[in-house]
Chain A
Amino acid sequence: MTAVRGKSEFALNVNGEIRTVTAYPMERLLDVLRTELALTGAKEGCGEGECGACAILMDGEIVDSCLIPVLQATGARIFTVEGLSGDKKLRALQEAFLEHGGAQCGICTPGMILAAVSLLNKNPQPSMDDIREGLSGNLCRCTGYTQIFEAVAEAARRSSALI
Chain B
Amino acid sequence: MRSDPADYQLVAPGSLSAALALMARESQRWLPIAGGTDVMVQYAAGKLPARKLMSIWNLPELRNIEVSQNEIRVGAGCTYTDLRRHQDIATELPLLASAASWTGGIANQNRGTIGGNIVNASPAADSLPALLAYDAELLLVSVRGERRVRYRNFHTAYKKMELAPDELIRAVCIPRQFSEYVSYTRKVGTRNAQAIAKVSVAALGRLEDGAVADVRIAIGSVAPVPLRLAEAERILIGQRIEPALLVLARKTAAAEILPIDDIRSTARYRSAVASNLVAEFLETLGASGRRP
Quick check: is A141 within 8 A (CB to CB) of the other chain?
A: no
Cα A154 to Cα B58 in complex, Å, equals: 36
Cα A158 to Cα B266 in complex, Å, equals: 48
The total of chain B residues at the interface (CB under 8 A) is 35
Tell me which residues across on chain B come within 8 A of A52, comparing CB atoms: 105, 107
- Interchain CB contact (< 8 A) of B53 among A6, A26, A50: A26
Tell me which residues across on chain B come within 8 A of A119, comparing CB atoms: 106
1/0 per residue, CB under 8 A from A, across B73-117: the answer is 000000001000000000000000000000011111011000000
Of the candidate stretches A57-65, A85-93, A95-103, the one touching chain B is: A57-65
Quick check: is A124 within 8 A (CB to CB) of the other chain?
A: no
Q: A162: shortest Cβ distance to chain B, in Å?
A: 24
Within 8 A of A (CB), among B11-48: 11-14, 18, 33, 35-37, 40-41, 43-45
Q: Which residue of A lies closest to B48 (CB)?
A: A26
In the complex, the answer to whether B55 meets A72 with C-beta atoms within 8 Å is: yes
Cα A88 to Cα B41 in complex, Å, equals: 35
Quick check: is B178 within 8 A (CB to CB) of the other chain?
A: no
In the complex, the answer to whether A72 meets B106 with C-beta atoms within 8 Å is: no
Q: Which residue of A lies closest to B5 (CB)?
A: A24
In the complex, the answer to whether B5 meets A136 with C-beta atoms within 8 Å is: no
Cα A50 to Cα B44 in complex, Å, equals: 13
Cα A143 to Cα B237 in complex, Å, equals: 52
Q: Which residue of B lies closest to A72 (CB)?
A: B57
Known A24-B6, A68-B40, A71-B55; judge A4-B104 contact (CB<8 A): no
Tell me which residues across on chain B come within 8 A of A27, comparing CB atoms: 5
Quick check: is B213 within 8 A (CB to CB) of the other chain?
A: no
Cα A155 to Cα B161 in complex, Å, equals: 48
In the complex, the answer to whether A138 meets B12 with C-beta atoms within 8 Å is: no
Q: A6: shortest Cβ distance to chain B, in Å?
A: 8
Tell me which residues across on chain A come within 8 A of B57, comparing CB atoms: 72
Cα A49 to Cα B11 in complex, Å, equals: 23
Quick check: is A134 within 8 A (CB to CB) of the other chain?
A: yes
Q: Which residue of B lies closest to A1 (CB)?
A: B11
Counting residue pairs across A and B whose Cβ atoms lie within 8 Å, the total is 102
In the complex, the answer to whether B107 meets A63 with C-beta atoms within 8 Å is: yes
Quick check: is B158 within 8 A (CB to CB) of the other chain?
A: no
Cα A115 to Cα B108 in complex, Å, equals: 12
Cα A137 to Cα B53 in complex, Å, equals: 27
Q: A109: shortest Cβ distance to chain B, in Å?
A: 16
Which among B8, B53, B106 has the highest number of chain A CB atoms within 10 Å?
B106
Cα A55 to Cα B58 in complex, Å, equals: 19
Q: Which residue of B lies closest to A7 (CB)?
A: B6
Q: A74: shortest Cβ distance to chain B, in Å?
A: 8
Q: B33: shortest Cβ distance to chain A, in Å?
A: 7
Quick check: is B239 within 8 A (CB to CB) of the other chain?
A: no
In the complex, the answer to whether A62 meets B8 with C-beta atoms within 8 Å is: no
Quick check: is A25 within 8 A (CB to CB) of the other chain?
A: yes
Which among A23, A67, A133 has the highest number of chain B CB atoms within 10 Å?
A67
18 contacts between A and B (CB under 8 A): A2-B11, A4-B10, A23-B5, A25-B11, A26-B9, A26-B53, A28-B40, A63-B107, A64-B107, A64-B108, A67-B40, A68-B36, A68-B111, A69-B36, A72-B55, A72-B58, A133-B106, A137-B107
